[in-house]
Amino acid sequence: MCGIVGYIGKRKALPILLNGLKRLEYRGYDSAGVITLDQKNFFIEKEVGKIKNLEEKINKEFGEVDRIDGNVGIAHTRWATHGESSVKNAHPHKDCSGKFWLVHNGIIENYNELKSFLEKRGHKFISDTDTEVLAHLVEENYQGNLLKALETALKKVEGTYGIVLVSKNEPDKLIVARKGSPLLIGVGKDEIIVASDVSAIISYTDKVVYLNDGEIAEIKKDNFKIFNNIKKEEVAKKINKITWDIKEIEKSGFDHFMLKEIFEQKEVFLNAIKGRLLFSEGKAKLGGLDLVADKIRKIKRLIIIGCGSAYNAGVVGEYLIENLAGIPVELEYASEFRYRNSVLEDGVAILAISQSGETADTLAAIREAKEKGVLTLGIVNVVGSTISREVDAGIYNHAGPEISVASTKVFMSQVAVLVLMALYLGRQRKMSLSQGREIIDELQNLPKKIDKVLTLNDEIKKIAQKYFSMKNFAFLGRTYNEPLAFEGALKLKELSYIHAEGFPSGEMKHGPIAMIDKNFPCFFIAPNDSVFKKNLSNMEEIKSRQGKIIAISNKKDKKLEKIIDDLIIIPKTKEYLNPILALIPLQLFAYHMAVLNKKDVDKPRNLAKSVTVE
Report the pLDDT value the prediction gives residue 611, as an integer from 0 to 100: 61
Across 38-46, average pLDDT: 84
Residue 577 pLDDT more than 90?
yes
Q: How far is CA 575 from CA 188, 235, 530, 553, 566, in A?
A: 50, 51, 8, 12, 22
Measured over the CA atoms of residue 233, residue 242, residue 188 and residue 38, the dihedral's sign is negative
Is the per-residue pLDDT at 484 higher than 90?
yes
Calculate the alpha carbon distances from 501 to 331, 477, 548, 574, 596 in Å. 19, 12, 15, 27, 20
How do strand 472-477 and strand 2-9 relate by DSSP bridges? unpaired
Between 240 and 101, name the one with better pLDDT: 101
Asked if pLDDT for residue 244 goes beyond 70, the answer is no
Residues 29, 23: Cα–Cα separation, whole Å: 12
What is the rounded CA–CA span in Å between residue 429 and residue 438? 16
Catalytic residue among 2, 12, 260, 522: 2
Q: Which pLDDT belongs to residue 249? A: 67
- The residue-averaged pLDDT of 247-257 equals 76
Check whether 502 has a pLDDT greater than 80.
Answer: yes
Task: Note whether 396 and 388 are within 8 A (CB).
Answer: yes
**pLDDT tens-digit map of 147-162:** 999 999 999 998 889 9
Q: What percent of the chain has pLDDT over 70?
A: 97
Q: According to the model, what pLDDT value does residue 453 have?
A: 97
Q: Which whole number is the average pLDDT over 519-532?
A: 91
In this prediction, residue 246 carries a pLDDT of 66
Give tens-digit pLDDT for 368-398: 999 899 999 999 988 778 898 899 999 999 8
Cα–Cα dist 34/77, whole Å: 9
Q: What is the pLDDT of residue 344?
A: 85
| Predicted pLDDT at 82 | 75
Q: Give the pLDDT mean for 176-184.
A: 89
Residue-wise pLDDT for 271-313, tens only, equals 899 989 999 999 999 989 988 999 999 999 999 999 999 999 9
In which element (H, E) is residue 160 found?
strand 159-167
pLDDT for residue 366 is more than 80: yes
**What DSSP state is assigned to residue 299?**
-
Give the lowest-confidence range in 460-464, 585-589, 606-610: 606-610
CATH architecture of the region 251-448: 3-Layer(aba) Sandwich (3.40)
Confidence band, pLDDT 50/70/90 cuts, at residue 608:
low
Condensed to tens digits (0 to 9), the pLDDT of residues 406-415 reads 899 999 999 9
Q: Where in the chain is the domain with CATH 3.40.50.10490?
A: 251-448, 455-600
Average pLDDT, the chain: 90
**Is 2 a catalytic site residue?**
yes
**Is residue 348 pLDDT above 70, yes or no?**
yes
| Percent share of the chain, pLDDT over 90 | 63
| pLDDT at site 612 | 53
Q: What is the model's pLDDT at position 384?
A: 77
Q: Which of 3.90.650.10, 3.40.50.10490, 3.20.20.100, 3.40.50.11030 is the CATH number of 455-600?
A: 3.40.50.10490
pLDDT for the residue numbered 1: 53
* Opening angle at CA 353, ends 349 and 354, nearest 5: 145
Average pLDDT over residues 240-261: 79
Bridge pairing between strands 41-48 and 93-94: unpaired
pLDDT for 613: 53
Band the pLDDT of 145: cuts 50, 70, 90.
very high
Residues of the chain with CATH 3.60.20.10: 2-242
pLDDT at 401 over 90: no
* Rounded-to-integer distance, Cα 105 and Cα 230, Å: 20
Least confident of 251-260, 269-278, 349-358, 603-612: 603-612
Q: Choosing from 179, 221, 409, 609, which is the catalytic residue?
A: 609
Give the fold, CATH level 3, of 2-242: Glutamine Phosphoribosylpyrophosphate, subunit 1, domain 1 (3.60.20)
pLDDT in tens, 2-26: 789 999 999 999 999 999 998 887 6
Q: What is the pLDDT of residue 422?
A: 97
For the ranges 21-30, 59-68, 249-258, 596-605, the maximum mean pLDDT occurs at 596-605
At 28 the pLDDT is 63
Q: Is the pLDDT of residue 425 over 60?
A: yes
